[in-house]
Amino acid sequence: MLFFSYFKDLVGREVTVELKNDLAIRGTLHSVDQYLNIKLENTRVVDQDKYPHMVIQCVDYNSVFSFCKLSVRNCFIRGSVVRYVQLPPEGVDIELLHDATRREARGG
């Protein structure tokens, strides 16, 4: 429950979820559940050239810039496919985390 509570406090913040298949998705944390399934909004793929999974159309405006329409804006990510979540450093009080961990570890 520790990390479930932690992620609930982070709703609305920008995070980057790195999946086990090496895909990295940056977005706004919309919600999380007890399994640490994650819902993201305003998603964009980090390093699009390397991982074009989520891009359906790219329009090139005279090589000045190109615009890619993403097929996915919001997504649901199953908790078990997550490898890392890169978090905002100013997210939460670290001391609170330490105390919560000591309580959780003792009870578990």
Partner 1 sequence: MATEEESAVKEPLDLIRLSLDERIYVKLRSDRELRGKLHAYDQHLNMILGDVEEIVTTVEIDDETYEEIVRTTRRTIPFLFVRGDGVILVSPPLRTT
Nearer to partner 1, 51 or 55 (CB): 51
102 binds partner 1 (CB under 8 A): yes
Q: For partner 1, what does the binding mask look like between residues 42 and 81, x meaning CB under 8 A?
A: -------------------------------------xx-
Instruction: Output 3-10 pairs: Cβ under 8 A, ≥24 positions apart.
Output: 3/36, 4/32, 4/33, 4/34, 4/36, 5/100, 6/92, 6/97, 6/100, 7/32, 7/36, 7/38, 8/32, 9/91, 9/92, 10/87, 10/88, 10/91, 10/92
Cross-strand pairs, 67:
59
Q: Find the binder of partner 1 among 24, 36, 55, 70 (CB under 8 A).
A: 36
Q: Find the binder of partner 1 among 20, 53, 73, 78 (CB under 8 A).
A: 20
Q: What does the binding site for partner 1 look like in residue numbers (CB under 8 A)?
A: 2-3, 6, 20, 36, 79-80, 82-89, 91, 94, 97-98, 100-102, 104-106, 108
